[in-house]
Amino acid sequence: MAKNLVIVESPAKAKTITKYLGKDFVVASSYGHVRDLPSNKISIDVEKSYEPTYQVSKDKEKVVKELKKLAKGVDQVYLATDEDREGEAISWHLCHILGLKPEDAMRITYTEVTEKAIKEAVNNPRKLDLNLVNAQQARRILDRLVGYELSPVLWKKIKPSLSAGRVQSVAVRLIVEREREVMKFVPEAAFKIDANFDVKGAVLKAIRKKRFAEEKDAQDYLEVCNGADFTIQDIQKKPSKKTPAAPFTTSTLQQEASRKLGYSVAKTMTIAQKLYENGFITYMRTDSVNLSELALTAAAAAIEDKFGKEYVNTKQYTNKNSNAQEAHEAIRPSYMDKEEVEGSSDEQRLYDLIRKRTLASQMSEARIEKTVVDISISGSDEILNATGEVVIFDGFLKVYKESSDEENDEDLSGLLPPLEIGQVLDLIDMTATQKFTKHPPRFTEASLVKKLEELGIGRPSTYAPTISTIQRRNYVVKESRDGTERQYVMLTLKKGNIDKQEPTEITGTEKNKLFPTDIGLLVNDFLVDNFQKIMDYSFTANIEKQFDEIATGNLSWNKMIDSFYKPFHTNVETTTNEAERVTGERYLGDDPKTGERIIARMGRYGPMVQKGETPEEEDGKKPKYAKLRHGQSIETIVLEEALELFKLPRSLGEFEEKEVKAAIGRFGPYVMHNSKFVSIPKDMDPYTISFEEAVELIQAKRKADAEKMIHDFKDEEIQVLNGRYGPYIKHEKRNYKIPKDKEAKELTVEECLDIIKNAPPPKKRAARAKKS
Rounded average pLDDT per 10-residue block, the chain, 772 residues: 89 93 93 91 94 92 94 94 93 95 93 93 95 96 95 94 92 97 96 96 95 97 96 96 95 95 95 95 93 94 96 90 63 94 96 97 96 95 94 94 64 77 96 97 95 91 93 95 95 96 96 96 96 95 95 96 96 96 94 93 91 67 87 93 90 92 87 92 89 92 85 89 88 90 91 91 54 40
d(CA 62, CA 51): 27
Taking the C-alpha atoms of residue 397 and residue 400, their distance in angstroms, rounded to an integer, is 5
At 529 the three-state DSSP class reads helix
Q: Which residues are catalytic?
A: 283
CA 517 to chain centre: 15
Phi, psi of 182 (to 5 degrees): -65, -45
Find, among 468, 402, 404, 21, the residue nearest to 244 by Cα: 402
User: Among 423, 643, 555, 425, which Cα is nearest to 139's?
Assistant: 555
β-pair partners for 528: none
Largest CA distance in the chain: 103
- Provide, for the chain, the percentages of residues in helix, strand and coil under a 3-state DSSP scheme, each rounded to the nearest 5: 40, 25, 35
Dist. CA 563–CA 572, nearest whole Å? 15
- Cα–Cα distances in Å, from 523 out to 156, 361, 402, 632? 12, 43, 37, 18
Write the DSSP symbol of residue 193: E
Question: What's the rounded Cα separation, in Å, for the pair 91 and 33?
Answer: 9
Q: Across the strands, what pairs with 45? A: 51
pLDDT, residue 267, reads 96
What is the C-alpha separation between 143 and 200, in angstroms, rounded? 69
The three-state secondary structure class of 514 is strand
For residue 770, what pLDDT is reported? 42
Q: Which residues pair with 222 in a beta bridge?
A: none
Calculate the CA dihedral of residues 758, 763, 768, 771 and round it to 10 degrees.
Answer: 100
What is the predicted pLDDT for the residue at 1? 63
Strands 497-501 and 650-655: unpaired
Measured CA to CA, the distance from residue 77 to residue 90 in angstroms comes to 14
CB count in 10 Å sphere of residue 294: 13
Is residue 615 reached through a cis peptide bond, with omega within 30 degrees of 0 on the bond before it? Answer: no
Model pLDDT, residue 321? 60
Other beta carbons within 10 Å of 20: 17
Predicted pLDDT at 38: 92
Long-range contacts of 653-662 (CB under 8 A, 24+ apart): 653/691, 655/691, 655/694, 655/695, 655/698, 660/691, 660/694, 660/695, 660/698, 662/686, 662/687, 662/689, 662/694
| pLDDT confidence of residue 631 | 85
